[in-house]
Structure 1
C-alpha cells in the first residue's frame, strides 16, 4: 500500500532560499506527495515565487495568511494536509532527492521514520555534529536528553499523520516548540525507524553561540515550557522532568561554575537561582 506525503513549508521573507527548497521536493524520486507552501505574511517576493511553483506542478498548494509566526504557519499547513505522513520543511532547508523513497521503502508499519542530516553554511558542509542514534527515538530520551545530549532537526522526521492527531504547535512559545511536538508524538511509544543516511539538509547561517550562552538559554527555555507540559500531560511528567533538571543542572552548574562565571560575570548562577525559585516547592520535596 502506497503512502502519500504532505510537506508543510512555512515561509517568512525567505525569497533567497525558497526556490532551492522547493526544487529539492520536485527532485524527489518518490512522487506521491503534496507540498503546502504557507506564506506567513512575507513582505518580500515569497508570494510571487510560491505562485510560480503552483503553476509549475499541481502538487504545490499555496496558502497566504497574516503573519503569526512559524508555529501558526505550521498549524495552517496541518489543517490542510491530506497525506498519510507529514514532513515539515523550513523554507531555507532542503531534502535529499531520495528521502521519501528510502524512508518508505521498507514498510509503512513505521509511524516515525527519521534520517540523518547535514548542516551547512554558505553552501559548505559543517563537520563535527553528532549523528542521531536509534536510542534517541524513545519517549524518555526525547524528554530527558533533548538539548542536553542531542536535538533532531524537525525535517529529519517523516511522521504518521495519526501521531499528530490533536496536536497543534503552541503559539505562546518562542522556543522549544519542536521539542513539545517530539514529546507529543513519542508519548504512545510509536514504532520508529532510523534511516542511517543524511537525507535532510539544515542551513545554519548564524554563528554558533558560546557554551555558556547556550547553557543559559537551555535553562531559561525549559522553565518556559514546563508549565505547558504540566497543562498537557499533568503533574507527573512535569514533576519528573523538573526533578531530572534539578539534578542535571545542579551537577553541571557546579562543575562549570568557575569557567562560566569568568565568561558571563555570574549570569549562569542568576539563571540557576531563577530556576530554583520557580520550582521551590519541588526542591523542598526533593530535599
Structure 2
C-alpha cells in the first residue's frame, strides 16, 4: 500500500498547465505515493496524450466515458485511493517539492488531525496567504467562507472520511470542498503548516471565475448547514478575523487586507489604514 494517494481530476486542461502540475508531483522529495489521475470525459484528446507521455509507474490513469462533474470526479478518485493519506491536487496548480514530505511528517506526529492545510502563493508570487493554523480558528473561518482553506494544497486522513461516510456532494458543487470541510468539523481536528508549499494558479479558466454565481449560491447552502450544526463556532466567528492577504513587492508588504464577518480593512505597508468597508448580514435560510 502506498502511504499517500495523490488525487487529481483533469478536464480539458491546457497542456502547459497540466504538465507543470504532473511534474510538480513527480518531483516530490517524498516518493511513496500513487498518483491517481482521472480524466473526467475531456473532449480535448491532448489531455490523455499528455498524461500518457509520462512513464512513471506511480501514475494510475483512468478515463471516464462521460463527464461526471467535479464532485463525481473527486469521488471516483476517493474510490480508487489506497493510501493512508489523501493529497488533493488540481490540474493547473503546482506543489513545491517538499509538500508531501512535510504534510506526512505532520500527520504522522498528530493522529488527531484529519485535515492539514498549507500556506500558498498565487502564480505570480505577489500575493501570499496568511491562513489560520490552529483548529478552532480554521473552523471559525469555515463558518464564513472557504477562503481560509486552499483545497488543492490539503492532505486528508482517509480513515476519517470512511468512518463517517463523508464524500463530495454534488448539490454543493462548485463549493464541494467547502461542504466537505464543514461536514468534517465535528469529527476531526484541522491544522495548517506555516510554510508556503503550494502555488495556486488564478486565471480565467478557474471554476471560481467561470461559475461565480453558482458558487455563491452553493456557498450559501453550505453555510446554512454549517451554522446550524455548529452554533458555538458561528457565534465566535462573527467578530473573528478569518482571512488576511498580504501583497508583496520584493518581499516588502505593500498592501494588506483583513476580512472579518462584519467588515474589510485595507492597509498600506501593513500599518496605515486606507479603506474600511462595513458588510451587512446576508439572509440565510437554515435547512
TM-score (norm: length of structure 2)? 0.70
Secondary structure, counterpart of 1:108 in structure 2: helix
1:175 CA drift (Å): 3.2
- Counterparts in 2 of 1:246 and 1:62: CA distance versus 1, 3 Å: same
Instruction: Report if the CA contact (8 A) 1:15-1:49 is conserved.
Output: no
Instruction: Report if the CA contact (8 A) 1:138-1:186 is conserved.
Output: no
What whole-Å deviation, never above 9, does each CA across 1:76-103 have from its counterpart, x for those lacking one? Answer: 1000000000011110011011111122
Higher alpha-carbon Rg: 1
Instruction: Report if the CA contact (8 A) 1:103-1:113 is conserved.
Output: yes
Match of 2:77 in 1: 77
Q: Pick the aligned partner of 2:119 from 116, 119, 124.
A: 116
Greater strand content: 2
1:247 CA drift (Å): 9.8
Which blocks of at least 5 consecutive residues in structure 2 are unaligned? 207-211, 241-259, 265-275
Greater helix content: 1
Residues 48-197 of structure 1 aligned to structure 2 (within 5 Å): 48-53=49-54, 56-65=55-64, 66-105=66-105, 108-110=108-110, 111=113, 112-120=115-123, 124-127=124-127, 129-135=128-134, 140-147=139-146, 150-165=147-162, 166-190=165-189, 192-197=190-195
CA RMSD between the two structures = 3.7
TM-score (norm: length of structure 1)? 0.70
- Counterparts in 2 of 1:250 and 1:181: CA distance versus 1, 3 Å: closer
Which blocks of at least 5 consecutive residues in structure 1 are unaligned? 209-213, 254-258, 261-267, 283-287
In 1, distance between residues paired with 2:262 and 2:119? 31
Q: Pick the aligned partner of 1:225 from 189, 208, 222.
A: 222
What whole-Å deviation, never above 9, does each CA across 1:94-147 have from its counterpart, x for those lacking one? Answer: 101111112223561323332211111xxx2232x4311213665642432435
Match of 2:12 in 1: 13
Instruction: Report if the CA contact (8 A) 2:118-2:150 is conserved.
Output: no
What whole-Å deviation, never above 9, does each CA across 1:32-54 have from its counterpart, x for those lacking one? Answer: 0001101001111111212222x
Instruction: Report the number of matched residues.
Output: 243
Please say if 1:39 is aligned against 2:36: no
Instruction: Report if the CA contact (8 A) 2:103-2:116 is conserved.
Output: yes
